[in-house]
Amino acid sequence: MHLNDNGHLTIVIQKKQGAPSAQKKMNVVFGNCEIVAKDKGYYILRSYKEKL
């Protein structure tokens, strides 16, 4: 996966489609993941790629 320095990845995913697993994976890949919003089983997750 390619993402520019200081870029971000935002996804919308249902809990039943694996939101908790996606959050864990984003934490592994990017070292961070925040839940932007959560409503009716949907999650908006965001990770940032910090400049090295």
pLDDT by residue for the chain (52 residues), tens only, comes to: 578 888 999 999 999 999 999 999 999 999 999 999 999 999 999 999 987 6
Q: Which domain holds residue 19?
A: 8-48
User: What pLDDT, on a 0 to 100 scale, did the predictor assign at position 1?
Assistant: 56
Judged on CB neighbours under 10 Å (0-12, 13-18, 19+), 33 is buried
CA angle 16, 20, 22 (to 5 degrees): 100
Provide the number of structural domains found in the chain: 1
Cβ distance 48 to 26 under 8 Å?
no
Does 1 map to a domain?
Answer: no
Does 30 map to a domain?
Answer: yes
Cβ distance 44 to 9 under 8 Å?
no
Does 29 map to a domain?
Answer: yes
Query: Global pTM?
Result: 0.87
Does 18 map to a domain?
Answer: yes
